[in-house]
Amino acid sequence: MSQTKPKPTNNHIPENVVFNIVAWLPVKSVIRFRCVCKSWDSFIISPYFISTHLNNNNSKYHGCFIKVPDSFGKKGKVCEVFCDRTYYIISEYPVPSGFDRFYVGSTSPGIVGSCNGLLCIPHYKAFCVDVIYLYNPVLRKFKRLPNSSFSQRYDWIWKAAGFGYQSKTNDYKVIRVYCLVGFTKFGKPKIKRQYAEVYTLSSNSWGRVEISLRPNVKLHGNKRISHAIFACGALHWLVDFIEYEDELQCETKILSFDVYNEKFRDIALPDGARRTKHIAVFRGKLAFITVNYYDRYITMWVMEEYGEVHESWNKLFSLVIETGFFYGCTRYAGLPDALQGNSSYVESLVLLDEGTELSE
């Protein structure tokens, strides 16, 4: 039976199918294949391709975390990506040499946040933010954010920062919150001023944002420098809400900043939350964790339905733990000490279409 079968006359794979094939390739291959021809290069750097590729990567890879080196000053520093189930290192990316100069002499409180393969890396000098970078480790590309008009002063006590993704416009935002705290003559904290500013990637600029909570409410962070947890389209910090009515009232709540409409609001914590508190993302939901160091157990709540109308905390479990320290959450509620709370990671092409700024 050796009939010659007529082959279809057009043996070329159509463009939309080519697009779909390339969108399943790892970042390294996509970058290499920019060389194939100019029309490939042109669709690869398009925002639609970058989003499609990211979606595919999100469905392929689950639960990876990235660890950035403590200081970028030394040669040979690498970012390590590891799997949250086995903690095996699955990728390493050398840090580009342009980063060498900026991390000298400062301690690193870690990355501000990680969204869609983009890391927000602050450079702190004496607890003030000196410079902020957006960094895509797999692409070896980074972007230095412009300075804002707000001047850095050491007496602004609580500094908070957050990095979030705005899905409606496919944009990225960085927020910085400052509170100037003084003390009354009785030693009670008295907040003089608070100030917030937001950087938007698409306009490459900073803008001031009102902290529009109830008029008397002032904010005081639990930590010296606080980095937000990004979940459900908003950035979250654990904050003491201090209200001056007849008397000073202080309640710890979650401060939330909606990345889309740039509005602040507060979220009450579940009852009985007395011990050391943390917030995290657990399987895509906002999670609240308390640690009882003495009896060595942790309790976790998650917010099942997010949004002002039906919000409520659902207590998931209490776990006995060996070590008393909480660093962050994996999908399996793992608590490795190598984990920084904001560092979940997926390889992406975000920032590919932006110019790299390698030196200052």
Partner 1 sequence: MANGENQNPNPNPIEATPGAAARTITLKTADGEIFEVEEAVAMEFGTVKSFFEDDAVSATKPMPLPNVSGSALSRVITYCRRSLEIRSMIPPATSEDATAAEAVQGEGDLEAEKAAKQERKEFEAEFLKDESNEDVKELILAANYLNIKELLDFLCRSVALRIQNKSVEYARKFFGIEGDYTPEEEAQIRQEYAWAFEGVDED
Q: What is the C-alpha separation between 270 and 96, in angstroms, rounded?
A: 44
In the block, residue with structure tokens 């904290």 = 189
Largest pairwise CA distance in the chain: 102
Which part of the chain contacts partner 1 (CB under 8 A), choosing from 17-25, 146-154, 237-245, 272-280? Answer: 17-25
Q: Measured at the alpha carbon of residue 92, what is the angle toward residues 89 and 98, in degrees to the nearest 5?
A: 150
Q: Is the dihedral of CA 337, 280, 347, 262 positive or negative?
A: negative
In the block, residue with structure tokens 């993704």 = 165
Q: What is the C-alpha separation between 59 and 118, in angstroms, rounded?
A: 17
If one asks whether residue 355 binds partner 1 (CB under 8 A), the answer comes out as no
Q: Are 52 and 326 in contact (CB under 8 A)?
A: no
In the block, residue with structure tokens 């393969």 = 117
In the block, residue with structure tokens 């990637």 = 201
For partner 1, the closer of residues 29 and 169 by Cβ is 29
Q: Which of residues 19-58 bind partner 1 (CB under 8 A)?
A: 20-26, 28-29, 31-38, 40, 55, 58
Residue from the set 7, 168, 185, 310 that interacts with partner 1 by CB under 8 A: 7
Q: Provide the 10 A C-beta neighbour count for residue 67.
A: 18
If one asks whether residue 104 binds partner 1 (CB under 8 A), the answer comes out as no
CB of 318 to partner 1, least distance (A): 20
CB of 281 to partner 1, least distance (A): 13
For partner 1, the closer of residues 122 and 137 by Cβ is 137
If one asks whether residue 358 binds partner 1 (CB under 8 A), the answer comes out as no
For partner 1, the closer of residues 17 and 90 by Cβ is 17
Which part of the chain contacts partner 1 (CB under 8 A), choosing from 7-15, 125-133, 168-176, 262-270? Answer: 7-15
Q: Where are the beta strands (DSSP E) in 68-204?
A: 78-83, 89-94, 113-115, 118-125, 128-136, 141-144, 158-166, 171-183, 189-200
Contact letters (x/-) for partner 1, 259-298, by CB under 8 A? ------------------------xx--------------
If one asks whether residue 13 binds partner 1 (CB under 8 A), the answer comes out as yes
For partner 1, the closer of residues 36 and 90 by Cβ is 36
CB of 66 to partner 1, least distance (A): 17
Q: Nearest CA to 333 among 84, 68, 33?
A: 84
Binding residues for partner 1 (CB under 8 A):
1, 3, 5-8, 10-14, 17-18, 20-26, 28-29, 31-38, 40, 55, 58-59, 94, 140, 283-284
